[in-house]
A = this chain, B = another copy of it.
Amino acid sequence: MVKKFRFNNPIATYAVVKDIECEKGALSYFTHNNNAFSYTMSDTTAVYGLGEAVRGINKRGWIYEGYCSDDPCHTEDKRSLYGAHNFLIIDDKNAGGDRFGVFFDYPTRITFDIGYTKQNELVVSVDKPNIDIYIIEGDTLRDIVRNFREIIGQSYVAPKWALGFMQSRWSYFTKDDVERIADSYSDADIPLDAIFLDIDYMERYKDFTIHNERFPDFENFVSYMKQKGVRLVPIIDAAVKVESGYDVYEEGVKNNYFCKGDDNKDYIVGVWPGKAVFPDFLNQDVAKWFGDKYKMLTDMGIEGFWNDMNEPAIFYSEKGLEKAFSQVDSYKEMSLDANTYFDCRDSFSKLSNSQFDYNNFYHNYNGKKIKHNDVHNLYGYFMTKSAQESFERNCPDKRILMFSRASYIGAHRYGGIWTGDNHSWWSHILLCLKQMPSLNMCGFVYSGCDMGGFNGNCTRDLLLRWLSLSIFTPLMRNHSACGTKDQECFAFENTSDFKNIVDLRYRLIPYIYSEYMKAVLSDDMYIRPLSFDYENDEIAKAVEDQLMVGESIMIAPVYTQNANGRYVYIPEDMIQLRLNGDSTISESEIKKGHHYIDIPLNEVVFFIKKDHCIPLCDSAKNIESLDYNTIKLYGNGKSYELYDDDGFTKAPDLSKTKTILK
């Protein structure tokens, strides 16, 4: 079902964990010509995949790149975001054409022209054709995903508490700030499971330090907050501050653990702490060393982390900065016309995340010196791997929350991802919706976006509508950037409307956790495009704003401002569930076909598949407080297969799934 084609001499990525012998014949489906692999689509061919990317569930009509990119402006014209997820499914089976999956295992820049240059031509191209290409077949679209997921290994399993609602901001500066956030949620009677610590909890942005004035007696504070029912989740950045006397830096220097420049000296970049260096996560010794540093925090009771800036993001490098200053100098005496002025201006603005830097430092990978650019997409992946492998060693008895900004397929075994620095834009509700199924295909089941939007200012209506999508994504975090308006639910008028919707998340947890775990443990998708469930339905195939969530639910969130509702395509007779503004739930039948559905700002509507049932329990202040004895089944099925466990076990066992009868 899976065929592997090797071209020349690829660099190992460890994305695929199954041993597969290389085919000897020509590559299936594609025409291969030097650096390019081409496929001709028909007018009806759909192309799925690419994980974290802009545009549609159907990726046709744009050019994308697999190259981890720190880009905080996710407009339609971007080619790459933080993750490189080079898996596609090409489907024209309903029209008698092909249906297959393809994974391009390639650790640096790769380009996917999917009907961008020519409407019906798909061309995948690389700089140097050292590449493994896997062709994955299967009867159904889901079979193809399962067959792919089987070769890349089981996805990371998050602890159950990490399915709760979580609040973040860059930054809650002090322990008092953090406590105030928790208390405000508690006062508003809105459930909450975690609060995130962004970069300012550290001392001068130094990884594995705690700012002692802002967070005195951190260990006690962690435990105090846990007693309140709220876990703290600190950030870890990729780069290590250059500071003499700082143990992480000193140890790294001593052991040659940092990436080197041409001159074999540590390659110095500027990131949050100012001058900093990159741990060479591709070197196993370094990975183990850095991973073990998390122990300092897990020993204090921390049970979750987010790895950031690991594309890796670079504001500037020492070398780049020197160049920029001398460039600017050269413009000083000139009379600047438009072009020379722009060049002068760009001396600085083009310093960040530059190809110049990615070409100018090196890793020690499997004993070989290798240019960063050649393994660029592995950096964040190996940072996440380093962390998760340390948790296996140091916290063998429980699951630790781990998710990352940068990623490559393979990283899905070690952590989840969030979709990075989005904006408080209505269009970014929809972007998140479209990214979720693509991420699921690529193994990133524990995923979600910054609800409410990271950059920019969020309005009350935007957050309410965003919530009605995010209550269905495994990672459900409200996060916002420094300098933006307060974005916590309690910062807006009528918090009861927020409570109503967040409560629904908690009422759905028996379903969400069960479906999430079943998907992960059976290499399946928790969130799917409609076409994956209704393969023969050409209307479903074109739906780009509804999703299947677990086996039984279809969602159709509102994502436009000042709308009173939306159009929904119902692909078969279903049960419509409406969360009313007073927290009651109404059930009604809805017929296959097109519908306009009224959805006021404080209500949520979703749909249960025919002959399916879903369990809802009463809400509670956090995940641990949920009482499954209050479960009731909704829908017109007869039973639900509930998976549950203690939420921490590292040996989850699907055979413990129980049937609940209606």
Contact-size category for A: 35 or more
Choose one: B315, B425, B567; the contact of A596 (CB below 8 Å): B567
- A328 to chain B: which residues have CB within 8 Å? 325, 328, 348
Query: Given A62-B459, A274-B336, A594-B594, are A76 and B426 also a contact pair (CB < 8 Å)?
Result: yes
* B332 and A325 form a contact (CB under 8 A): yes
Asked if A213 is at the interface (CB within 8 A of a chain B CB), the reply is no
* B335 and A315 form a contact (CB under 8 A): no
CB within 8 Å of B: which A23-69 residues: 46, 55-56, 58, 60-62
* A425 and B75 form a contact (CB under 8 A): yes
* B270 and A61 form a contact (CB under 8 A): no
Query: Given A119-B460, A345-B349, A427-B76, are A544 and B567 also a contact pair (CB < 8 Å)?
Result: no
- A349 to chain B: which residues have CB within 8 Å? 345, 348-349
How far does the alpha carbon of A214 sit from the alpha carbon of B328 in the complex, in Å?
Answer: 33
Q: Mark A527-546, 1 if CB is under 8 A from B, else 0.
A: 00000000000110010100
- A461 to chain B: which residues have CB within 8 Å? 61, 119
Asked if A351 is at the interface (CB within 8 A of a chain B CB), the reply is yes
B-contacting 9-mer, from A379-387, A557-565, A610-618:
A557-565
* A275 and B335 form a contact (CB under 8 A): yes
- A595 to chain B: which residues have CB within 8 Å? 594
How far does the alpha carbon of A174 sit from the alpha carbon of B351 in the complex, in Å?
Answer: 35
This chain's copy number in the assembly: 2
* B542 and A76 form a contact (CB under 8 A): no
Asked if A289 is at the interface (CB within 8 A of a chain B CB), the reply is no
Query: Given A75-B423, A345-B348, A542-B564, are A493 and B60 also a contact pair (CB < 8 Å)?
Result: no
- A119 to chain B: which residues have CB within 8 Å? 459-461, 492-493
Nearest-neighbour CB distance to chain B for A269, whole angstroms, equals 11
Instruction: Please give 18 more A-B residue pairs, beta carbons under 8 A apart, in addition to A56-B560, A61-B562.
Output: A56-B562, A62-B459, A62-B561, A76-B425, A76-B427, A77-B423, A77-B425, A119-B460, A119-B461, A272-B338, A274-B336, A274-B337, A274-B340, A274-B341, A321-B336, A325-B332, A344-B348, A567-B596
Nearest-neighbour CB distance to chain B for A52, whole angstroms, equals 18
Q: Considering the complex, give the chain B residue whose CB is closest to the CB of A321.
A: B336
Asked if A129 is at the interface (CB within 8 A of a chain B CB), the reply is no
Nearest-neighbour CB distance to chain B for A283, whole angstroms, equals 27
Nearest-neighbour CB distance to chain B for A645, whole angstroms, equals 40
Asked if A116 is at the interface (CB within 8 A of a chain B CB), the reply is yes
Asked if A125 is at the interface (CB within 8 A of a chain B CB), the reply is no
How far does the alpha carbon of A537 sit from the alpha carbon of B544 in the complex, in Å?
Answer: 28
- A344 to chain B: which residues have CB within 8 Å? 348
Choose one: B205, B270, B492; the contact of A341 (CB below 8 Å): B270
* A562 and B60 form a contact (CB under 8 A): yes
- A351 to chain B: which residues have CB within 8 Å? 345
* A274 and B562 form a contact (CB under 8 A): no
Nearest-neighbour CB distance to chain B for A464, whole angstroms, equals 10
- A647 to chain B: which residues have CB within 8 Å? none
Asked if A115 is at the interface (CB within 8 A of a chain B CB), the reply is yes
Asked if A456 is at the interface (CB within 8 A of a chain B CB), the reply is yes
Asked if A118 is at the interface (CB within 8 A of a chain B CB), the reply is yes
Asked if A138 is at the interface (CB within 8 A of a chain B CB), the reply is no
- A425 to chain B: which residues have CB within 8 Å? 75-77
- A77 to chain B: which residues have CB within 8 Å? 423-425, 456-457
How far does the alpha carbon of A510 sit from the alpha carbon of B425 in the complex, in Å?
Answer: 40
Q: Considering the complex, give the chain B residue whose CB is closest to the CB of A538.
A: B564
Asked if A361 is at the interface (CB within 8 A of a chain B CB), the reply is no
- A118 to chain B: which residues have CB within 8 Å? 493
Nearest-neighbour CB distance to chain B for A623, whole angstroms, equals 31
Nearest-neighbour CB distance to chain B for A190, whole angstroms, equals 18
Asked if A442 is at the interface (CB within 8 A of a chain B CB), the reply is no
CB within 8 Å of B: which A486-504 residues: 492-493
- For the complex of A and B, 9 pairs with smallest distance between CB atoms: A274-B337, A345-B348, A567-B567, A594-B596, A76-B425, A77-B456, A58-B562, A61-B561, A272-B338
